[in-house]
């Protein structure tokens, strides 16, 4: 188990752990918190370059990715040994407002990209797929968007979003918006094509009745495109390639080999 500590300065109360069925537990401490997507990318890059493994499972450590669903990921991976397995959300535990925002995000993503993305970080990747991902700049900005774009041959298991272990999520509406746009920005080529087609058809139908009101959707589309391209600048292959320099140290919390 490799735990990514995203630059937290909170003191760890437990420094040593003991497990019967887990060989090692290590904590990779990052110098700076660059966000969960970039910490995930750095963790994947570290594993593909420094470790020997067959599969890697990514999961959030806040309780929202439920450990009891690991068995489903294991079994699905055994049935499809060469394929990435994603944990697709079928039920969420947030409030009504967040659920509404999430549905709007899914619809917006589908309209502009043609992709219906129902998963987050929780997934099981064969080493070959993990190695493909860490060669792409988009993984530095969005994991789920990158997996959808780069790994087309996937399977999934149903997943229920769990409740957080400690307190409510600290993610603001602005961060949720950036997260949503980061996923869409992975497919900026499709976004451009679909936006242009929409504008052509829309302007054709309203050409005889142009006004501030009828041109308002055009203005919104241009603002949306600007924001997508602004967010897409987060994709940085150089930063990804240098991401291991942000590792401060790696603590060994449990090691059966030395026990």
pTM of the predicted protein model: 0.88
* pLDDT at residue 234, as a whole number: 93
Instruction: Check if the beta carbon of residue 87 is closer than 8 Å to that of residue 156.
Output: yes
Instruction: Check if the beta carbon of residue 188 is closer than 8 Å to that of residue 158.
Output: no
Task: Specify the pairing of strand 154-160 against strand 84-91.
Answer: parallel
Q: Residue 145: helix, strand or coil by DSSP?
A: helix
Q: Is there a single domain that holds both residue 79 and residue 157? A: yes
257 has a pLDDT exceeding 80? no
pLDDT digits (tens, 9 = 90+) for 159-170: 998 887 777 666
Span 145-156, average pLDDT = 96
**Left, alpha or beta for 167 (phi > 0: left; psi -120 to 50: alpha)?**
left
* pLDDT at residue 188, as a whole number: 96
User: Is 175 inside a domain boundary?
Assistant: no
* pLDDT at residue 123, as a whole number: 96
Q: Is there a single domain that holds both residue 127 and residue 246? A: yes
| Beta strand spans in 17-102 (E) | 24-30, 55-58, 84-91
Name the burial class of residue 198, with classes exposed (0-12), middle (13-18) and buried (19+) by CB atoms within 10 angstroms of its CB: middle
Strand partners, 123: 58, 86
Q: Which of 167, 178, 176, 3 is nearest to 102 (CA)?
A: 176
- Total number of domains constituting the chain: 2
Instruction: Check if the beta carbon of residue 228 is closer than 8 Å to that of residue 184.
Output: yes
Residue 76 and residue 80: Cα distance in Å, rounded? 6
* pLDDT at residue 196, as a whole number: 96
Q: Is there a single domain that holds both residue 134 and residue 223? A: no
Q: Is there a single domain that holds both residue 229 and residue 241? A: no
């Amino acid at each position: 188990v490799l735990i990514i500590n995203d630059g937290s300065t909170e003191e760890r109360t437990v420094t040593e752990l003991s497990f019967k069925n887990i060989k090692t537990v290590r904590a990779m401490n990052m110098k700076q918190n660059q966000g969960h997507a970039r910490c995930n990318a750095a963790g994947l890059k570290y594993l593909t370059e420094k470790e020997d493994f067959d599969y890697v499972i990514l999961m959030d450590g806040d309780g929202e990715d439920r450990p009891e669903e690991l068995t489903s990921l294991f079994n699905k991976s055994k049935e499809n040994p060469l394929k990435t397995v994603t944990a697709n959300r079928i039920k969420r535990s947030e409030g009504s407002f967040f659920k509404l925002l999430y549905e709007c995000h899914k619809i917006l993503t589908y309209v502009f990209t043609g992709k219906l993305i129902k998963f987050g970080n929780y997934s099981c990747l064969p080493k070959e797929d993990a190695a493909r991902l860490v060669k792409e700049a988009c993984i530095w900005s969005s994991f789920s968007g990158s997996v959808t774009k780069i790994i087309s041959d996937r399977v999934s298991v149903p997943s229920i979003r769990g409740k957080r272990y400690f307190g409510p999520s600290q993610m603001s509406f602005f961060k949720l918006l950036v997260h949503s746009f980061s996923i869409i920005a992975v497919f900026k080529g499709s976004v451009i094509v679909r936006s242009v087609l929409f504008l052509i058809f829309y302007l054709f139908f309203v050409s005889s009745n142009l006004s501030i009101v009828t041109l308002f959707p055009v203005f919104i589309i241009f603002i949306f495109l600007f924001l997508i391209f602004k967010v897409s600048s987060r994709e940085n292959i150089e930063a990804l390639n240098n991401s291991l320099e942000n590792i401060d140290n790696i603590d060994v919390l449990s090691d059966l080999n030395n026990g």
